[in-house]
């Protein structure tokens, strides 16, 4: 069974540019979440999509956006990049949302973004 696939794995951008990251969840998983991981702030929740609808959003500026397609694949976009956006962006998928059993998040390997 294929895991969560994130592309690209590494990328370097300059300030002011924009970036799009892609996430393909485990087959059958309808919930896709995005997290930003930095040494200073740790793992911070960006947003969650379920059946193509954004269900939760963390405390990030509007420069961070995302979407989910009908096949559950998700993309996140960061516009007008800042140096502080340098981070590991982790995507995670799960079967369903809400408190149903363990409902474990399965993570991808992440996309490491460096902003120069």
Partner 1 sequence: AQKITQTQPGMFVQEKEAVTLDCTYDTSDQSYGLFWYKQPSSGEMIFLIYQGSYDEQNATEGRYSLNFQKARKSANLVISASQLGDSAMYFCAMREGHNTGNQFYFGTGTSLTVIP
List residues near partner 1 by CB under 8 A.
31, 33, 35, 42-43, 45, 48, 50, 55-56, 58, 88, 90, 92, 94, 97-99, 101-110, 112
The distance of closest approach from Cβ of residue 97 to partner 1 in the complex, given in angstroms and rounded to an integer, is: 5
User: What are the helix (H) ranges across 1-116?
Assistant: none
Query: Judged by CB, which is closer to partner 1: 14, or 56?
Result: 56
The distance of closest approach from Cβ of residue 85 to partner 1 in the complex, given in angstroms and rounded to an integer, is: 17
Query: Judged by CB, which is closer to partner 1: 79, or 86?
Result: 86
The backbone torsions φ and ψ at residue 85, rounded to the nearest 5 degrees and listed phi first, read -80, -5
Q: Give the pairing type, strands 42-50 and 53-57.
A: antiparallel
Query: Judged by CB, which is closer to partner 1: 24, or 33?
Result: 33
The distance of closest approach from Cβ of residue 16 to partner 1 in the complex, given in angstroms and rounded to an integer, is: 27
Within a 10 A sphere around the Cβ of 16, how many other Cβ atoms? 10
Contacts (Cβ under 8 Å, ≥6 apart) of 99:
none
Query: Judged by CB, which is closer to partner 1: 40, or 62?
Result: 40
25 contacts 4 by C-beta, under 8 angstroms: yes
The distance of closest approach from Cβ of residue 58 to partner 1 in the complex, given in angstroms and rounded to an integer, is: 8
Cα-Cα end-to-end distance for the chain: 37
């Amino acid at each position: 069974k294929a895991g969560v696939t994130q592309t690209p794995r590494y990328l370097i951008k300059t300030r002011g540019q924009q970036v799009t990251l892609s996430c393909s969840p485990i087959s059958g998983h309808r919930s896709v979440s995005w997290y930003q991981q930095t040494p200073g702030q740790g793992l911070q929740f960006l947003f969650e999509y379920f059946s193509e609808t954004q269900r939760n959003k963390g405390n990030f500026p509007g420069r961070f956006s995302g979407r989910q397609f009908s096949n559950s694949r998700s993309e996140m976009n960061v516009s007008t990049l800042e140096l502080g956006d340098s981070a590991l962006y982790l995507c995670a998928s799960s079967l369903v949302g809400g408190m149903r059993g363990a409902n474990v998040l399965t993570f991808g390997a992440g996309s490491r973004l460096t902003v120069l």
